[in-house]
Amino acid sequence: MDTELAVVGSLNHDLTVLTRRHPRPGETVLGTDQYSAGGGKGANQAVAAARLGSRVAMIGMVGHDANGAALVAGLAAEGIDVSTVGVDQEAPTGLAVITIDDRAENSIVVIPGANMRLSPAHIEEHNQVIARARVVLAQLEVPMETVVAAAKAATGLFCLNPAPSHSIPEGLWDRIDVLVPNRSELAALADRPEPATFDEVAVAVSSLPYQGPVVVTLGSEGALVVEDAMATPVPAPGIEAVDPTGSGDAFCGALGHALGRGLSLLDATRRAVVAGAIAATRRGAQPSMPTISEVEALLEG
Q: What is the pLDDT of residues 105-148, one digit of tens each?
A: 888 899 999 999 999 999 999 999 999 999 999 999 999 999 99
Banded pLDDT at 1 (limits 50, 70, 90): low
- Cβ–Cβ < 8 Å for 40, 96: yes
* pTM for the predicted model, two decimal places: 0.94
* 237 upstream amide cis, omega within 30 of 0: no
User: Is 249 part of the annotated catalytic residue set?
Assistant: yes
Q: What are the beta bridge partners of residue 157?
A: 135
Q: Is 185 exposed, middle or buried (0-12, 13-18, 19+ CB in 10 A)?
A: buried
CA–CA gap between residue 170 and residue 156 (Å, rounded): 20
> In the chain, how many domains are there?
1
Banded pLDDT at 242 (limits 50, 70, 90): confident
Of 276, 289, 282, give the one whose Cα is nearest residue 243.
Answer: 282
CA–CA gap between residue 39 and residue 53 (Å, rounded): 20
Close Cβ partners of 125 (under 8 Å, ≥ 6 residues apart): none
Domain range enclosing 164? 5-300
CATH code of the domain covering residue 9: 3.40.1190.20
Q: What are the beta bridge partners of residue 16?
A: 35, 98
Q: Where are the alpha helices (DSSP H) in the chain?
A: 41-51, 66-77, 120-125, 127-132, 144-153, 170-173, 183-190, 198-206, 247-260, 265-279, 292-300
Distances (CA, A) of 148 to 19, 81, 244: 39, 22, 29
Average pLDDT, the chain: 95
Model pLDDT, residue 229 = 86
Of 254, 282, 266, give the one whose Cα is nearest residue 7.
Answer: 254
Q: Each residue of 86-121: b (16+ CB within 10 Å) or e?
A: bebeebbbbbbebbbbeeeebeeebebbbbbbbbbe
Distances (CA, A) of 266 to 49, 109, 177, 178, 262: 17, 33, 14, 12, 11
Quick: pLDDT tens for 276-301: 999 999 988 899 999 999 999 999 86
Model pLDDT, residue 122 = 97
Q: Choosing from 101, 174, 249, 267, which is the catalytic residue?
A: 249
